[in-house]
Amino acid sequence: MKILVINPGSTSTKIAVYDMEKELFSKSIEHSKEELAPFKKISDQLEFRKETILNALKEAGFDLKEFACISARGGNIHPVPSGTYVVNEKMVQDMLSLKYGAHPSNLGAPIAYELSKQYSIPAFIVDPVVVDEMEMVNKITGLRGILRQAKDHPLNQKAVSREVAKFLGKKYEECNFIVAHLGGGISVAAHKKGKIVDVNNALNGDGPFSPERAGDLPNVAVVEMCFSGNYTKEEILKMLAGNGGFVSHLGTNSLKEVLLKIEQGDEYAKLVYDAMVLQIAKWIGIMAVVLKGFVDGIILTGGMAKSEKLVSDIKEYVGFIAPVYTVPGEFEMKALMEGALRVLKGEEEAKTYE
Ligand X SMILES: CCCC(=O)OP(=O)(O)O
Ligand Y SMILES: Nc1ncnc2c1ncn2[C@@H]1O[C@H](COP(=O)(O)OP(=O)(O)O)[C@@H](O)[C@H]1O
Determine contact, residues 157/150, Cβ cutoff 8 Å: no
Residue nearer to ligand Y on the CB measure, 250 or 288: 250
Interface with ligand X (CB under 6 A), residue from 9, 194, 208, 339: 9
d(CA 175, CA 177): 6
Burial 141-176 (b: 16+ CB within 10 A, else e): eeeeeeebbbbbbbbbbbbbbbbbbeeeeeebeebb
- Which does residue 149 touch among ligand Y, ligand X, none (CB within 5 to 8 A, set by kind)? none
Instruction: Kindly write out the interface string for residues 47-86 of this chain, putting x where it contacts ligand X by CB under 6 A and - elsewhere.
Output: ----------------------------------------
Instruction: Kindly write out the interface string for residues 12-51 of this chain, putting x where it contacts ligand X by CB under 6 A and - elsewhere.
Output: ----------------------------------------
Write down the least CB distance from residue 297 to ligand X, Å.
22
**Residues 47-56: contacts with CB within 8 Å, 24+ apart?**
49/8, 49/13, 49/104, 49/107, 49/111, 50/107, 50/111, 50/114, 52/13, 53/6, 53/13, 53/15, 53/111, 56/15, 56/27, 56/29
* Residues in a beta bridge with 166: none
Q: Which segment (19-27, 196-204, 254-262, 315-323) binds ligand Y by CB under 6 A? A: 254-262
Reduced to 3 states (helix: H, G, I; strand: E, B; else coil), residue 147 is: strand
Residue nearer to ligand Y on the CB measure, 172 or 331: 331
**Cα–Cα distance list, 318 to 198, 228, 291 (Å):** 18, 39, 15
DSSP string for residues in 221-251: HHHHHHTSSSS-HHHHHHHHBTSSHHHHHHS
Interface with ligand X (CB under 6 A), residue from 4, 96, 129, 131: 129
Closest CA to 310 of 289, 324, 296, 290: 324
- Which does residue 13 touch among ligand Y, ligand X, none (CB within 5 to 8 A, set by kind)? none
Interface with ligand Y (CB under 6 A), residue from 4, 5, 6, 10: 10
Write down the least CB distance from residue 247 to ligand Y, Å.
10
Reduced to 3 states (helix: H, G, I; strand: E, B; else coil), residue 83 is: coil
Q: How many CB atoms lie within 10 A of CB 25?
A: 18
Write down the least CB distance from residue 212 to ligand Y, Å.
8
Q: How many CB atoms lie within 10 A of CB 34?
A: 9
Assess 300 for contact with ligand X (CB under 6 A): no
**Residues 307-311: contacts with CB within 8 Å, 24+ apart?**
307/255, 307/256, 307/259, 309/259, 310/182, 310/255, 310/277
Assess 185 for contact with ligand X (CB under 6 A): yes
Instruction: Map the footprint of ligand Y across residues 289-318, applying CB under 6 A.
Output: 302-304, 306-307
Instruction: Map the footprint of ligand X across residues 155-184, applying CB under 6 A.
Output: 183-184
The letter for the amino acid at 198 is D
Assess 242 for contact with ligand X (CB under 6 A): no
- Which does residue 133 touch among ligand Y, ligand X, none (CB within 5 to 8 A, set by kind)? none
d(CA 317, CA 305): 15
Interface with ligand Y (CB under 6 A), residue from 87, 165, 188, 255: 255
Assess 103 for contact with ligand X (CB under 6 A): yes
Assess 254 for contact with ligand Y (CB under 6 A): yes
The letter for the amino acid at 114 is E
- Which does residue 158 touch among ligand Y, ligand X, none (CB within 5 to 8 A, set by kind)? none
Write down the least CB distance from residue 333 to ligand Y, Å.
11
Write down the least CB distance from residue 22 to ligand Y, Å.
23
d(CA 74, CA 329): 18
Write down the least CB distance from residue 308 to ligand Y, Å.
8
- Residues near ligand X (CB under 6 A) are 9-10, 103, 105, 129, 151-153, 183-185, 202-203
- Residues near ligand Y (CB under 6 A) are 9-12, 183-185, 211, 253-256, 302-304, 306-307, 330
